[in-house]
Amino acid sequence: MSDTSVGQSDQNSKGPLAKYEPVIGLEIHCQLSTASKLFCACKTDFGALPNQHTCPLCLGLPGVLPVINKTAVDYAIRMALAVGATIRERSVFSRKQYFYPDLPKGFQLTQYDLPYCEHGHLTLDNGRRINIERIHMEEDAGKNIHGDNASYVDLNRAGTPLLEIVSAPEMHSAEEAVDYLRKIHAIVRYLGISDGNMDEGSFRCDVNISLRPRGATKLGTRTEIKNVNSFRNVEKAIAYEIMRQADVLDSGDSIRQATLLFDAASGRTAQMRSKEDAPDYRYFPEPDLGPLYISSDRIKAMAALIPELPEAKKKRFQDDFNIPESDAAQLTEQVELAAFFESVVAKVDGKVAPKIVANWINTEYMREFNNRQSKWAKPILSSDALGELLRYLGEGMISGKIAKTVFEEMLENGQSAKAIIDAKGLVQISDTSEINSVVTDIIAQFPDQVAQHRAGKPKVFSFLVGQVLKVSQGKFNPALVNSSLKDALDGDARNS
């Protein structure tokens, strides 16, 4: 079987994982959100007309000299500090030689044997510590556009500052790789050094994967899947490549080191080229750039700008708001979502428990946010609007069912919760005499269910509650309905 052919096994099967251990490392490419490129003053704006943001240096013309972007270096320092990496006082840029149409100089300026930092780490949700071997700075390449029986080159992206974040080959499943990727993605966005937009290529990764027999310590031959730009595709690409490599090994063939592309439509990898090693790139120090020196004072200045990071914020949310780890993890995955949650909690002013706020945001709010493909720059509802709605719920003005109805109305017509509640007369009824009257009628209407309840079938009670709330069109206070019905049933039982 060719090592680029389709795996024949069921990709959902655990069979190969019983025999082989996957070993996975990620090389993450993160564009930095600087106003200009790494070595020139051209803009980094996404979406401009092709080749609009270029200059003689971007175009690889002779006689030009690169100048390092100070902000890019500051952002790089912040990333190193966020993952506990060791920052070198002196690092060096090198020329990485390769010849593609989107690289007009014929080389890429990057860091090779002396990157600016090494030896970071982060901890996965399962408690495993994954080492980060190195982070280095480099310039991005341009972009090839294929179509109309021709290929075109857009060099707007060429020279955009990148961080390449290289993990150790220490992950052993697609789930671990995606968890690691999500954590790095959250960190760069919390730091404010990258927009992390995977659709626009601001955050993408190369996946290195090999298999070895269970119990073995020697690494197998790896393949590299290039430029995967979504969490879902990383998961799918790893799952497919595990199955494909297992099929190759089971057939008695050997894995050939290669660079692969992942086709999301077919869910398969395909060979792009044989894999290059360092000697193929003929690295040598960039003669037009001196060494990069990073002083301890500069590191201290950047350390003072590090905000509360996702793991610390998750722990604080658990402690301060008494919410489960799972809720805190969801709320802190996006920096804007975490800020939104805290803003809503402040708005409800203690009338609703933070746990209820978390539930509403993680379920009702985020479902609609995602379904409507909303962005945090213009969310479906402001934190003030949602906070007002939940405060009315906490005060007993409306029931949970009515709150969901009002929420839907707010999304559709943009009115405030108060305006909708007043216009439709949705204020919750807490008049016990009115509730007791309806409870009495329901007990009379459903004698069989009342008998079943008294015979020890507790589920019937929920049915009777539902009938009372149905009569009130959801306006009765559910807690008072429960209390009234329980008192009526228990009283009737004592009197019978």
**Local confidence band at 458 (pLDDT 50, 70, 90 cut-offs):** confident
Q: Is the pLDDT of residue 216 over 80?
A: yes
In this predicted structure, what is the pLDDT of residue 10? Answer: 42
How does pLDDT run across 138-160, given as a tens digit for each residue? 999 998 888 888 889 999 999 99
Q: What is the mean pLDDT of the chain?
A: 89
Beta carbons within 8 Å of 428's beta carbon, 6+ residues apart: 396, 397, 398, 399, 402, 475, 476, 477
Instruction: Give me the pLDDT at residue 444, please.
Output: 85
CA–CA separation, 211 vs 213, rounded Å?
7
Asked if 109 and 139 touch (Cβ cutoff 8 Å), the reply is yes
Confidence of residue 234 (pLDDT cuts 50, 70, 90): very high
How far is the C-alpha of 203 from the C-alpha of 28, rounded, in Å? Answer: 7
Residue % of the chain over a pLDDT of 90: 68
Q: Residue ranges per domain, the chain?
A: 15-301, 310-424, 432-495
pLDDT at 491: 67
CB environment 220-229: b (16+ within 10 A), e (fewer): bbbbbbbebb
Residue 46 has pLDDT above 80, yes or no: yes
Contact 467, 435 (CB under 8 A): no
How much is the pLDDT for 353?
A: 95
Residues 170-188 pLDDT 10s: 999 999 999 999 999 999 9
Distance CA 304, CA 392 (A): 40
Token readout for 345 is 């909690």
Q: How confident is the model at residue 334 (pLDDT cuts 50, 70, 90)?
A: very high
Does 431 or 444 have the greater pLDDT score? 444
The rounded distance, in Å, linking the Cα atoms of 228 and 204 is: 6
Rg (C-alpha) for the chain, rounded Å, is 30
Are 259 and 277 a contacting pair, CB within 8 Å?
no
Record the pTM. 0.84
**Least confident interval from 166-175, 253-262, 335-344:** 253-262
What is the residue type of 370?
N
- Say whether pLDDT at 9 is over 50: no
Is the confidence at residue 331, as pLDDT, over 70?
Answer: yes
The dihedrals phi and psi of 16, each to the nearest 5 degrees, come to -60, -30
3-state secondary structure of 11: coil
Q: Average the pLDDT over each of 345-354, 390-399, 481-490 and give the range with the smallest value.
A: 481-490
**Is the per-residue pLDDT at 430 higher than 90?**
no
- Quick: pLDDT tens for 92-127: 999 999 887 888 888 999 999 999 999 999 999 999
Amino acid occupying residue 16: P
For 432-495, the fitting CATH number among 1.10.10.410, 3.90.1150.10, 1.20.950.20, 3.90.1170.50 is: 1.10.10.410
Residue identified by tokens 């014929």 is 106
* Residue 185 tokens, joined: 């993605």
Q: Please say if the pLDDT value at position 275 is more than 70.
A: no
| pLDDT of res. 7 | 38
